[in-house]
Amino acid sequence: MLLSTPGLVLHTTPYAESSVVAKVFTRQLGLRSYIIKGVRGRSGRVKQNLLQPLSSLDMVVYDNPRTDLNYIKELTPRNPGQSSEPVTNSLRFFMTEVLYKALREAEPMPALWDYVDCQSSVGSEPAANVPVTFMLKVAYHMGIEPLDNHSHREPYFDLQEGRFVSEPDENTLPAALSRTLHEYLSSSRPDSSAPQSLSHPVTVSLQERLTLLDALIAYFQLHLSGFAHFHSHEILHTILK
């Protein structure tokens, strides 16, 4: 059957002579794989720039639950003329890689989709804040959000346990970095789909944010299968400095 749904492009790979297979995070159906015809080549009816990372599309798709690979019948851009500024592009690549590695096929998450669609313009908060707040938002929707039980008695965040603990070991973050994570957790509104993720700003240095970002990537790798070999944050480390 045919279904209309907005979608966010996460990844494309060449298919046959002029087509691509696109991984698309759709609002109604979750993550799906689609064949899009007429993309490659000079006479392609679908321009390649419509399928850039995190491009937002209105689509009419064939939905056959008995196959993992369907077709897109029609697509149009929802936000034409997105910025190509280097920081914005780097943040889009980062968010795309997080979603591509975290999401599983056919698990609708409309609240997360709404949040990501708002964030795809990357203008709602300071760029340095986006990676950390984005990962915490995704963690909330994936059911792996860190437990914010930080206290004087439990000042160390345990990456394996997903909570703050009283004694440090090889799985815990240093006390100062653990407190920074606590500040982000206590300032966020994880149940909101609004693009602004912090109720009040977290005042930490850029280096602290980048170190926390590395820790959150390690946390995702521990709690989500398939989250290995993450690379886009390395570009962010260079761009945001």
Q: Residue 83: pLDDT band by 50, 70, 90 thresholds?
A: low
Q: Say what percent of the chain tops pLDDT 90.
A: 58
* CATH number, domain with residue 30: 2.40.50.140
Domain boundary among the residues 34, 49, 77 is at 77
Residues 133 and 49 in one domain: no
As a whole number of angstroms, the distance between CA 106 and CA 90 comes to 27
Rounded alpha-carbon distances, angstroms, from residue 130 to 30, 38, 58, 80: 23, 35, 25, 22
Average pLDDT for the chain = 87
Give the three-state DSSP class for 48: helix
As a whole number of angstroms, the distance between CA 18 and CA 26 comes to 23
Residues 39 and 125 in one domain: no
Give the three-state DSSP class for 236: helix
Residues 93 and 210 in one domain: yes
Residues 66 and 93 in one domain: no
What's the domain count of the chain? 2
Give the three-state DSSP class for 99: helix
Tokens 């912090």 found at: 198
Tokens of 184: 């982000």
Tokens 């409309």 found at: 110
Rounded alpha-carbon distances, angstroms, from residue 138 to 69, 105, 192, 200: 25, 16, 12, 19
Amino acid 31: pLDDT: 95
pTM (2 d.p.) = 0.88
Query: 150-154, 163-167, 193-197: which range is least confident on average?
Result: 193-197
- According to DSSP, residue 128 is labeled G
Mean pLDDT of 36-57: 82
Residues 105 and 146 in one domain: yes
Q: Find out whether 154 and 182 touch, Cβ atoms under 8 Å.
A: no
Amino acid 228: pLDDT: 84
**pLDDT tens per residue, range 203-228:** 788 889 889 999 999 999 999 988 98
For the chain, strand residue ranges (E) read 2-15, 19-26, 30-36, 56-62, 69-77, 156-158, 163-165
Supply the angle between the helices 86-102 and 206-223 in degrees, to the nearest 10: 20
Find, among 129, 116, 137, 128, the residue nearest to 53 by Cα: 116
Residues 93 and 72 in one domain: no
Domain boundary among the residues 52, 77, 102 is at 77
Residues 102 and 203 in one domain: yes
Which range marks the domain in which residue 148 is found? 86-240
As a whole number of angstroms, the distance between CA 211 and CA 184 comes to 14
Residues 26 and 92 in one domain: no
Q: What is the DSSP string of 185-225?
A: HHHB-TT--SS--BSS-----HHHHHHHHHHHHHHHHHHST
* CATH number, domain with residue 95: 1.20.1440.120
- According to DSSP, residue 173 is labeled P
